[in-house]
Amino acid sequence: MSSFVIRQARLIDPSQQRDEITDIRIAGGKIDAIGADLSGSNSIDASGLWLTPGFIDLGGHLAEPGYTQKGSIASETKAASRSGFTHVCALPDSKPVADSAAVIQLIREKAEQAGSAEVLPLGALTQGLEGEQLANMFSLSEAGCVAMSNARQPIKDSYVLRRLLEYAATYDLPVFLTANDAALAAGGCMHEGPVSTRLGLAGIPETAETAALAQIILLAEQVPVRLHISQISCARSIAMLRNARSRGHDITADVPLANLLYTQDTVHGYNSQFHVQPPLRSEDDRQALLAAVAAGELAISSNHRPHEIAAKKAPFADAEAGLSMYDYFLPLAMSLLGEQLDISALVRSLTQLPAQVLGRQANLALGSAANLVLIDPQQSLTARRSELLSRGGNISCRGEVLTGQATAVMRNGHWIYQAD
């Protein structure tokens, strides 16, 4: 049996509490051995490189089907692999909406053809994401959906939300909910505060998130559902989740990377690239989110949303919301190291925690599937639109010199990305 050895890498696996320089051998698509001086038919010298489990994204917009001017499953999963993602949860707001087995089958077939990061479809909670009629969650699960989500589309009322939770609980289906009170957020395009007032832009108050989160938590107390809160953005939400967990409710959550990197102050100059949902909030919120990631309370998601350049050329309030994150996700995330986060916490937020949400494993233990990332922590690169793998030109870091790059990414024993 042929085998492949990665030699002298710094293996970082928080789930196994490992941080050491060692060799690792891959055979049959799995991790066959870990130790010093391993034998193998092929090998690479990974001295100076970090070796981590493959990253899992709990929410990215892949644009296909329906929005080919923005991207495709092939282009976006290739860009995701560039930053170390071996698995990507695809949000259901495609066109047509991912509310039928036929659409899920199409997504999976396209992803298989692409051969990059594996796509884990999120099925629509409601038909057409309209928030009224329940989608056939059981058939969506049978078709391959790993969880159910309504993206950021509102649920009509608390009665429909309760029925959704009950349906999902019946079949033990994970539910991803975004806490957003559509009435309180209506018309807003950035965080409500002094900056929005100064710029004359309609704001989205924190209560749009916290009021919705309170309702979700109260209903979840009545229904034993596997609940995950997607894309939280403020300190008060963290406190509410801690309180719920202290009462025995195992509710997980994630934060978009953009909300760890940027604040409302980034909007100065009406830079429409930073029109995002959830909005970028205060520095106090950003620091609280970072602390929660460091404590292992939050996973980090990409909230990747590619747009053609024209979609961002409108005035701030009229520009389409979202950032293209996949191409430079890894170096941007690594820029947070030393700011409350160490490498173990960062890797945990991208591997162990999202895997737990999905009921999966993401580790470098013996016998595990060989899903892994080799990272050069010293490699610098300049963010350029001309070098994007994603079709989305709406990156946040154009022209910046970033440090940290995935040199190779493996999924199930096969290289899906290797840097030039």
pLDDT on residue 135: 97
Distances in Å between the alpha carbon of 211 and those of 5, 144, 179, 185, 348? 52, 32, 8, 11, 29
Cis, bond preceding 96 (omega within 30 deg of 0): yes
Task: Give per-residue pLDDT as tens, 67-123.
Answer: 999 999 999 999 999 999 999 999 999 999 999 999 999 999 999 999 999 999 999
User: What span, in angstroms and rounded, lies between the C-alpha atoms of 420 and 408?
Assistant: 10
Q: What is the mean pLDDT of residues 251-279?
A: 96
Per CATH, is 54-358 categorized as 3.20.20.140? yes
User: What span, in angstroms and rounded, lies between the C-alpha atoms of 195 and 268?
Assistant: 8
Question: Hey, what are 355's tokens?
Answer: 């895997």
Q: What is the mean pLDDT of residues 212-231?
A: 96
β-pair partners for 90: 60, 121
> Cβ distance 160 to 127 under 8 Å?
no
Q: Given pLDDT bands bounded at 50, 70 and 90, which one contains residue 40?
A: confident
Q: What is the mean pLDDT of residues 8-23?
A: 97
Contacts of 34 by beta carbon, 8 Å cutoff, 6+ apart = 11, 22, 23, 24, 25, 364, 366
Q: Does residue 227 register a pLDDT over 90?
A: yes
Q: What is the mean pLDDT of residues 354-368?
A: 96
Q: Does residue 2 register a pLDDT over 80?
A: no
pLDDT on residue 340: 87
Q: Which of 257, 207, 209 is nearest to 229 (CA)?
A: 209
Q: What are phi and psi of 380, to 5 degrees?
A: -105, 155
Q: Does residue 41 register a pLDDT over 90?
A: no
Q: Does residue 274 register a pLDDT over 80?
A: yes
pLDDT on residue 268: 87
Tell me which DSSP letter residue 353 carries.
H
Q: What is the mean pLDDT of residues 39-43?
A: 84
Correct CATH for 4-51+368-381+398-418 of 2.130.10.10, 2.30.40.10, 3.30.300.30, 3.40.50.300: 2.30.40.10
Q: What is the dihedral of CA 212, 183, 126, 323, to 10 degrees?
A: -80
> 21 in helix, strand or coil?
strand
Distances in Å between the alpha carbon of 53 and those of 92, 128, 159, 353, 369? 26, 35, 41, 12, 10
With tokens 């071996």, the residue in question is 86
pLDDT on residue 1: 47
In the chain, CATH 3.20.20.140 sits at 54-358
Diameter over CA atoms, the chain: 66
Looking at 93-163, which runs of residues are DSSP E strands? 118-124, 147-149
Q: Which of 71, 80, 220, 91 is nearest to 152 (CA)?
A: 91
Q: Does residue 3 register a pLDDT over 90?
A: no
Mean pLDDT for all residues in the chain: 96
pTM: 0.97
Q: Does residue 316 register a pLDDT over 50?
A: yes
In the chain, CATH 2.30.40.10 sits at 4-51+368-381+398-418
pLDDT higher at 42 or 173:
173
> Cβ distance 332 to 257 under 8 Å?
yes
State percent of the chain over pLDDT 90.
Answer: 95
Task: Give per-residue pLDDT as tens, 183-210.
Answer: 999 999 999 999 999 999 999 999 999 9
Q: Given pLDDT bands bounded at 50, 70 and 90, which one contains residue 17?
A: very high
Q: Given pLDDT bands bounded at 50, 70 and 90, which one contains residue 39?
A: confident
Q: What is the mean pLDDT of residues 131-139?
A: 97
